[in-house]
Structure 1
Amino acid sequence: MTEHNPDETLGPTMAERMLAELPRLQEEITARLIAEQPVYRRLPGEQLERDVRRVTEQSLRGIAQSLRTGRPLEPEWRAFQRASAARRAEEGVPIEAVVDAYYLGAQVCVDFLGTQLPPEQVGFAYRALLTGLRVTVAEVTAGYLEERQAQVGESGAARHTMLAALLIGADIRTVAARTGTALPPAYLVLSLAIGTHRDEAREDVDGEVAARRKIRRIRAELDRITGAPVLARLTAGEGLALLPRTDPDAEQRAWLDTVLADLGRAANVPITAGAAAGPPERVADAARLAAEVRDTALVFRRPPGAYRLDDLLVEHQLTRPGAARDRLAALLAPLAAHPDLLPTLRLYLECGHNRREVAARQHIHPNTVDYRLRRIAALTGLGPADHHGGITLTAALAALDAAAGRPGPPVA
């Protein structure tokens, strides 16, 4: 890099000036990316702050280090650029936008140095930055393409094939041998309801990019928990994950709570999961049960977390299709013409029959609560405050919710 340098101190001088103005250069590059590249303008704010700005800073420091020493860019710096490009590929950022970001950064640096150096030294600065840009673009392109190939590569195809075989109950031993998959004694199946990240709902953010980022974080956390790529199928709103276990019943409650807490923290969204375990040959049955348990937890508005059948035995049974469920739901039909009654009933039962708490939460007088409870009793023939009436109405609400379908996961 020094062969065109008429003054051996010029490289270090350029490096010092870049580092001294690094925050300003970093801010200008980020601002111009947002202004000139639509895809960056619609990235989640968290991604701009944590990834794009960090990559910009590391890129500038790497170039400055090379200018200071006169040596090629360090291997660690090149590896960082590859890893960054791989993340952009996984998030679906177009490669042309990724490469253009580096050219834009180089242009900002050229413009800056053009104001700092005498005219006879500007040519050296341009050549030095062009050399760094050539190396950077090569690393970025390689890292991006490697990740894209990996997404559809043999390993991913093998996991997809194995997951499909387990879920349809195919000859999984044969499929495992063909794909080179080592089957564990059992799988813990998690059926996930994934909350919506706040960035997915913002008009000034690309919701699809935010959703892919969320999915990537959940998948990475699952892989971290198990120490290997997990068999999983994830979308923005739900997912299925098979966690290998040698003894799925050992300390499962505490371990499950930790897993769900880690997943929710990694993606910064609430996650509700139904869990069921079984040997590889019974994964299809476990997946169906896990989905039912998840839906039951959502119908009964349980807080985010992990649930097994044992946690929701009564609720699960109340929501099973059949004549009894239909008759229970029909008990509430007389309330349909009175929109204030059903919410009051639901809240009254959730609050443990505390009429004052209901009044406070609905911003009404306790006497109004009493009036509505009397109306519910008159219309349904069941008194909410009575032991039998309260139990029956609780079951009727569960049946009504189950018949209507589960609500979607909450927004973070």
Structure 2
Amino acid sequence: MREDPRDHGRLAGLSPAAVALAARCEPKVNELARRMAREVFEQLRGYSGLPADVKDVEIAATARHAMRLFLRGTDAGAAPYALEYFQERAAQRAEEGMPLHLLLRTYGLGARELWRVLRETAAPEEQDALAELAEALFTAEDRVVGAVTESYLDEQAALVAERQEQRRSRARALLEGARHPDDPVVDGPTLVLYAHFIEPAPSGERSPVAVRRLLRRAQTALDRAFGTETLALLDGGGGHVVVPGCDEAPPRLLDALREAAGPEARLACARAQSAQDIPAAARQATEVVRVARACGRPAGLHRLDDVLLEYHVSRPSDASDRIAALLTPLDGRPELLQTLRTHLGQRQDRRATARVLRLHPNSVDNRLTRIQELTGLDLGSPRDTALALAALSVRAADATG
């Protein structure tokens, strides 16, 4: 029999007595692996629910391979060709959905059982050899568990990313009025949401890690609120969510989204009666949020009925440019535009406007007076107030269009 060149150096760190003790234990490997798979691991919560073929074939085979590698002197499983086997099995367990804690405990219990066999097999005069093998066993377990954990987490991350991309792809197809090849026909009512988190931050101000955390929190909040995997197409500033088979937002949706994305989160919902109505519903929800923001409405859940006039007058028409031009005198005066927007959003309550802007009410009065002087609009007149609202809405539409 040709000697495997990889065997050289495997036993160099162990005494002849330790090698002999390990060799006497090797014939017990098959029986021990079967006992582990059928009895020892059964004490682990969740193990009994695994498929029989996974327990009796996959896990038993991995335990058998690990024990043979160790007893034949593989240097604590440190060789790459030895670790690769365990890494592949870990990736397979991740794909099957086996919890990581359960997988790692099988390795811990396996090492303990192997130690028990070594201890029972050792003669009184082999205590030094037994101590050598104990140290080698602890080192082997540490290295294998490290490699297994890394491989499992890498595979799990890849699976999560793949699943998220599938959901994004399905959402994108529905929002574009197309059908995703892996998606069943969407028939019946569908709820379409547009969420706005915060204004996009300047380049470099928000790290990719912070954005990913925000998206994970938002996606989790949406899934929990609806009790299903929602189809979301989100980025750091917000985005669209499609919920087939649903025609009403759950009561705590806004609270859940605010907990995930912050108190400035805005949300609007629109119903689509069929798949072909989804793109139009998405546009409506987006416009409702945009109009609410442009008119100074406080952050929250916005409904079309809440901004019905503003939504209507912000639609493009021959008069749009002339209406927008009413506020041209305020260009370069962002504090005046903000005051006007907030004042109208607070139903022209000067004290409420002052609280939102953190100003003295007299300062609000001074700004409103200056706005009226520059624009010629009388904010005490219902007609001029409507024109100011229309101008803010049209300018916002131009800015985002």
Given the two structures, how large is their TM-score scaled by the length of structure 1? 0.55
Distance 1:347 1:219 in 2: 31
* Deviation of 1:228 (Å): 3.7
- Describe the superposition over 1:69-105 as per-residue Cα deviations: whole angstroms up to 9, x where unpaired: xx99x85699xxx9xx99xx9xxxxxxxxxxxxxxxx
Which residue, 181, 186, 191 being the options, matches 1:188? 191
1:347–1:358 Cα contact (<8 Å) kept: yes
2:330–2:374 Cα contact (<8 Å) kept: yes
Which position in structure 1 is the counterpart of 2:174? 166
Task: Call closer, same or farther: CA 1:333–1:214 in 2, change over 3 Å.
Answer: closer
The SS at the match of 2:378 is coil
The SS at the match of 1:179 is coil
> After the TM superposition, which segments of 4 or more aligned residues of structure 1 sit over 6 Å from their partners?
122-126, 200-203, 337-340
Which position in structure 2 is the counterpart of 1:272? 266
The SS at the match of 1:273 is strand
Q: Verify: 1:149 aligned to 2:149, yes or no.
A: no
Distance 1:374 1:263 in 2: 38
Report matched runs for 1:74-89 at 5 Å: none
* Deviation of 1:243 (Å): 1.0
Higher relative contact order (CA closer than 8 Å, sequence separation 6+): 1
- Describe the superposition over 1:114-141 as per-residue Cα deviations: whole angstroms up to 9, x where unpaired: xxxxxxxx98996565344234324322
* Deviation of 1:271 (Å): 2.3
Distance 1:332 1:197 in 2: 25
2:372–2:378 Cα contact (<8 Å) kept: yes
- Describe the superposition over 1:185-223 as per-residue Cα deviations: whole angstroms up to 9, x where unpaired: 22211122123799x9997xx821121122122222333
What is the Cα-based RMSD across aligned positions, in Å?
4.5
Structure 1: 5+ residue runs without aligned partners? 1-70, 90-121, 407-412
Which residue, 393, 396, 399 being the options, matches 2:391? 396
Task: Call closer, same or farther: CA 1:127–1:301 in 2, change over 3 Å.
Answer: farther
Matched to 1:315, the amino acid is E
Matched to 1:258, the amino acid is R
2:343–2:350 Cα contact (<8 Å) kept: yes
Identity over aligned pairs, percent: 32
Distance 1:381 1:196 in 2: 31
Task: Call closer, same or farther: CA 1:378–1:183 in 2, change over 3 Å.
Answer: closer
Matched to 1:242, the amino acid is V
Report matched runs for 1:250-289 at 5 Å: 252=248, 255-268=249-262, 270-278=264-272, 279-289=274-284
Which position in structure 2 is the counterpart of 1:387? 382
* Deviation of 1:240 (Å): 1.7
1:188–1:245 Cα contact (<8 Å) kept: yes
Distance 1:378 1:227 in 2: 54
2:354–2:364 Cα contact (<8 Å) kept: yes
Distance 2:298 2:333 in 1: 28
Distance 2:218 2:154 in 1: 23
2:295–2:342 Cα contact (<8 Å) kept: no
Structure 2: 5+ residue runs without aligned partners? 1-39, 48-86, 95-130
* Deviation of 1:369 (Å): 5.8
1:167–1:287 Cα contact (<8 Å) kept: yes
- Describe the superposition over 1:207-253 as per-residue Cα deviations: whole angstroms up to 9, x where unpaired: 2112112212222233334444322222121222111225x1xxx3x
Distance 1:180 1:347 in 2: 44
Q: Verify: 1:136 aligned to 2:130, yes or no.
A: no
Task: Call closer, same or farther: CA 1:202–1:400 in 2, change over 3 Å.
Answer: closer
Given the two structures, how large is their TM-score scaled by the length of structure 2? 0.56
Task: Call closer, same or farther: CA 1:267–1:75 in 2, change over 3 Å.
Answer: farther
Tell me how many residue pairs correspond in the alignment: 285
- Describe the superposition over 1:349-382 as per-residue Cα deviations: whole angstroms up to 9, x where unpaired: 445445566678665683x765655554444333
Which protein shows a greater Rg? 2
* Deviation of 1:392 (Å): 2.7
The SS at the match of 1:323 is coil
